C-alpha cells in the first residue's frame, strides 16, 4: 500500500482527489491518502509519515509566502523515496522557475484531465526506488485529528472547535496534544500555533477545484 500526502488549501480538491484515488479499479496499486491544508506543517508531516508520493498545489499558497525561499523546507523534506507531483491551480513564472531547481516528478495544472493525472501517478509509483511496501499502512493523524488541526489553523478557539465537531473542550485539548506529539512540534512552532483565537468565524467561501 502506497502512502500519498495531499497538500492543498482547497477542501473540495482534497476531498475529491482522495475519493478518486481510492477508486481501486483505476490504479494497479492501492493508496492510503491523507491531506493537509497548511504548507508550514508539510515538512514535519513528510518527515514523520514518510509518504511515497506528495501531490501539492503550491500556487494556492503563494499569497501566504513572504519569500519564495520558504518553499525550500518542503522540497528539502522530500527524498529519493518520495515522488512529488505539483498540481497547481494557476500559473506563476517565478514559482515555476524556482521549482525547476528541485526533483519534481511532474508539474500539472488542475485543469488537466484525470486520465493524464492518473498516468503521472502511475509513472511516479513505477519510478520509485525498489523497497518493501507494507501491506497495511496507517495515517499519521486520525480523521478527527485532521479536522481539529484544520480548524486550529484557522485560529478557532477550543470552544469553537468543540462546537463545530460536537465534542467537548477537554477532548479538543487532548487532540491538540496528540497532534503536537505526532508532528514533532517543538518550541519553534509555538508562535505559529498560538494564533489569536476568536469565538466566531464565518466559513470562508469555498474555492473551485479549478
Answer for the pair 178, 139: CB distance below 8 angstroms, yes or no. Answer: no
54-to-35, 80, 136, 173 alpha-carbon distances in Å:
10, 12, 19, 29
State the pLDDT confidence band at 188, using cuts at 50, 70 and 90.
very low
For the domain spanning 2-127, the CATH number is 3.40.50.2300
Q: How confident is the model at residue 27 (pLDDT cuts 50, 70, 90)?
A: confident
What are the grid coordinates assigned to 177, written together?
A: 496534544
Q: What is the pLDDT of residue 192?
A: 47
User: What is the DSSP pairing of strand 53-56 with strand 83-88?
Assistant: parallel
Three-state SS sequence of the chain: CEEEEEECCCHHHHHHHHHHHCCCCCCCCCEEEEEECCHHHHHHHHHHHCCCEEEECCHHHHHHCCCHHHHHHHHHHCCCCCEEEEEECCCCHHHHHHHCCCCCCEEEECCCCHHHHHHHHHHHHHHCCCCCCCCCCCCCCCHHHHHHHHHHHCCECHHHHHHHHCCCHHHHHHHHHHHHHHCCCCHHHHHHHCCCCECCCCCCCCCCCC
pTM over 0.95: no
Distance between CA 154 and CA 160 in Å, rounded? 11
- How do the domains of the chain map onto residue ranges? 2-127, 143-193
Can you name the CATH fold of 143-193? Arc Repressor Mutant, subunit A (1.10.10)
The set of cell numbers assigned to 193 is 500555533
Mode of pairing for the β-strands spanning 31-36 and 2-7: parallel
Burial call 36-51: b when 16+ CB within 10 Å, e when fewer: bbbbbbbbbbbeebeb
Angstrom distance (rounded) from CA 122 to CA 143: 26
Per-residue pLDDT at 208 exceeds 60: no
Average predicted confidence (pLDDT) for the chain? 82
98, 71 Cβ separation under 8 angstroms:
yes
Q: For 70-94, what is each residue's pLDDT tens digit? A: 899 889 888 888 899 999 999 999 9
- The 10s digit of each residue's pLDDT in 166-178 is 999 899 999 998 9
- pLDDT recorded at residue 155: 82
Amino acid at each position: 500500500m502506497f502512502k500519498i500526502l495531499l497538500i492543498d488549501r482547497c477542501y473540495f480538491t482534497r476531498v475529491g482527489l482522495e475519493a478518486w484515488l481510492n477508486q481501486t479499479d483505476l490504479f494497479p496499486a492501492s493508496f492510503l491518502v491523507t491531506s493537509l491544508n497548511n504548507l508550514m506543517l508539510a515538512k514535519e508531516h513528510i518527515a514523520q509519515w514518510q509518504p511515497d508520493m506528495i501531490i501539492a498545489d503550491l500556487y494556492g499558497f503563494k499569497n501566504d509566502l513572504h519569500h519564495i525561499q520558504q518553499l525550500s523546507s518542503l522540497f528539502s523534506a522530500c527524498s529519493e523515496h518520495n515522488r512529488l507531483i505539483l498540481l497547481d491551480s494557476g500559473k506563476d513564472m517565478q514559482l515555476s522557475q524556482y521549482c525547476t531547481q528541485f526533483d519534481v516528478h511532474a508539474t500539472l495544472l488542475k485543469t488537466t484531465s484525470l486520465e493524464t493525472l492518473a498516468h503521472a501517478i502511475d509513472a511516479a509509483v513505477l519510478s520509485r526506488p525498489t523497497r518493501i511496501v507494507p501491506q497495511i499502512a496507517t495515517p499519521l493523524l486520525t480523521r478527527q485529528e485532521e479536522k481539529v488541526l484544520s480548524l486550529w489553523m484557522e485560529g478557532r478557539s477550543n470552544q469553537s472547535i468543540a462546537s463545530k465537531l460536537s465534542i467537548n473542550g477537554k477532548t479538543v485539548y487532548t487532540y491538540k496534544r496528540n497532534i503536537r506529539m505526532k508532528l514533532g512540534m517543538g518550541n519553534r512552532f509555538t508562535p505559529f500555533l498560538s494564533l489569536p483565537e476568536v469565538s466566531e468565524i464565518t466559513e470562508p467561501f469555498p474555492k473551485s477545484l479549478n
